[in-house]
Amino acid sequence: HSALTQPPSASGSPGQSVTISCTGTSSDVGGSNFVSWFQHHPGKAPKLMIYEVNKRPSGVPDRFSGSKSDNTASLTVSGLQAEDEADYYCISYAGSNNYVFGTGTKVTVL
Amino acid sequence: QVQLVESGGGVVQPGRSVRLSCVASGFTFSSYAMDWVRQAPGKGLEWVAVVSKDGSITNYAESVRGRFTISRDNSNNMLHLQMNSLTVEDTALYYCAVEAFDIWGQGTMVTVSS
């Protein structure tokens, strides 16, 4: 399974919104409701921000939202804050006990 | 508190083996499938392997299939990753994670170098 495609970078000023895409195929993103998003600071444990396409774990601000259309999932961060600067990864179930991560997006808060 | 702690990393020569471990606490370990995920230096996250709750079902990424073996010991809340025939491409920070990836350890670094 090839890695899901994410833009290498995204940026926005404080208070603005940024949306990150995660494009796969009908065998993974398009065929699964197991699509999650992680916030990751290298060397630290990734933090789950969105699961099952659009659900937020307890404690994650509602500024983070997820959606999916066909083979592309998206993460939107609204009201950007300095603390949101990090790498973001999507992951999808790809059938037969396989999972595939996205290529990762570095979000910069200008 | 819910916690995963990995161990076993270090520097190993190409072609050699290493066994990683992950001890779980704060939750019912035997109720969840478990995964290993890795991140090579300067690269993205890569899913490596999964094991079912009772250890009977496993699966691997193509890049490690046939060389790595994931296993678990539910009586001791332990997850393992036996890594054989290591190459420099296996150099990475290895994380264990609970099935929905909502709980992660801090990772253990494996460096394959001569």
Q: Which residue has the tokens 């937020």?
A: A56
Q: Is the pLDDT of residue A2 over 80?
A: yes
Residue A59: per-residue pLDDT: 94
Neighbouring C-beta atoms of residue B82, cutoff 10 Å = 14
Residue B99: per-residue pLDDT: 86
Residue A24: per-residue pLDDT: 96
Residue B63: per-residue pLDDT: 95
Q: Which residue has the tokens 């995964």?
A: B35
Residue A1: per-residue pLDDT: 74
Residue-wise pLDDT tens digits, A7-38: 999 999 999 999 999 999 999 999 999 999 99
* Residues B30 and B19 sit within 8 Å (Cβ to Cβ): no
Give the nearest partner residue to B106 out of A45, A91, A100, using CB atoms.
A45
B45:A104 CB<8 A: yes
- Tell me whether A103 touches chain B (CB under 8 Å): yes
Q: Is the pLDDT of residue A96 over 90?
A: no
Interface of B with A in 74-93 (CB under 8 A): 93
Ranges of residues in chain B whose predicted pLDDT is under 50: none
Q: Which amino acid is at B62?
A: E
How close, in Å, is residue A104 to chain B by CA atoms? 6
- Tell me whether A72 touches chain B (CB under 8 Å): no
Residue-wise pLDDT tens digits, B47-73: 999 999 999 999 999 999 999 999 999
A41 burial class (0-12, 13-18, 19+ CB within 10 angstroms)? Answer: exposed
B59:A96 CB<8 A: yes
Residue-wise pLDDT tens digits, A41-77: 988 899 999 999 999 999 999 999 999 999 999 999 9
How close, in Å, is residue B102 to chain A by CA atoms? 5
Mean pLDDT, chain B, integer: 96
- Tell me whether B38 touches chain A (CB under 8 Å): no
Beta strands at B10-12 and B108-112: parallel, antiparallel or unpaired = parallel
- Tell me whether A37 touches chain B (CB under 8 Å): no
Q: Cβ contacts of residue B60 below 8 Å, gap of 6+?
A: B48, B49, B66, B68, B70
Q: In chain B, what residues touch A1 (CB-CB under 8 Å)?
A: 62
DSSP state at residue A60:
S
How close, in Å, is residue B99 to chain A by CA atoms? 11
A47 burial class (0-12, 13-18, 19+ CB within 10 angstroms)? Answer: middle
Mean pLDDT, chain A, integer: 95
Beta strands at A105-109 and A9-12: parallel, antiparallel or unpaired = parallel
Q: Dihedral angle at the C-alpha atoms of B112, A4, B50, B87, nearest 10 degrees?
A: -20
Q: Which residue has the tokens 């819910």?
A: B2
Residue B100: per-residue pLDDT: 84
Q: Is the pLDDT of residue A92 over 90?
A: yes
